Amino acid sequence: MYPRGKPALPSREQRVLKIIWAVIALTLFAALVGVIAAVIRSRSQGSDQDFLSGFLVGVFGVMPFGIALFLYAAYRQMDEFSQQLQEKACTFAFVMTMLAASAGFVIASGFKVALPLWSLYLLGMAAYAAAVIRGSLAARGGRE
């Protein structure tokens, strides 16, 4: 017979992975709902179009805050090394995004060119991913 006791808790990595998959699933679901609402809005008229426009603003306006809450929960489950890696990656991504925003402001003002805001988001996410990958590879190589 096996001893009866409390069941073992899932490992820290499993808990973090579970939260991350929940973030991915909910983000994809919200994006799918937004795309469906945008398609319906493009085919509607009058008050339906106004409602769907407001709905899209609400869904996409609240989505970053929901993602942030889930990611904060994942961060709280990480060990100290992973937390430091995430902090360094976020710092690097923030600095790169602010530099790009400053350069974009100068370019947009000086050359009368409109830069899309999503380009800043894309740059920030790319910088974050590069910093996480670099930090992970450096940690595996024994240096930080």
Q: How is residue 46 annotated by DSSP?
A: T
Give the 3-state secondary structure of residue 8: coil
Instruction: Specify the pLDDT at position 99.
Output: 94
Distance, in Å, from the CA atom of 41 to the CA atom of 34, rounded to the nearest integer, reads: 10
What per-residue string of b and e applies to 55-88 under the rule 16 or more CB within 10 Å gives b? Answer: bbeebeeebeeeeeebeeebeebbeeebeebbee
Please write the tens of the pLDDT for every residue from 35-75. Answer: 888 888 888 877 777 888 888 888 888 888 888 888 888 88
pTM for the predicted model, two decimal places: 0.63
Per-residue model confidence (pLDDT) at position 9: 58
pLDDT tens digits, residue range 81-129? 888 998 999 999 999 999 999 998 898 888 888 888 888 888 998 999 9
> What pLDDT was estimated at residue 94?
94
Both tokens of 34, joined, read 């937004």
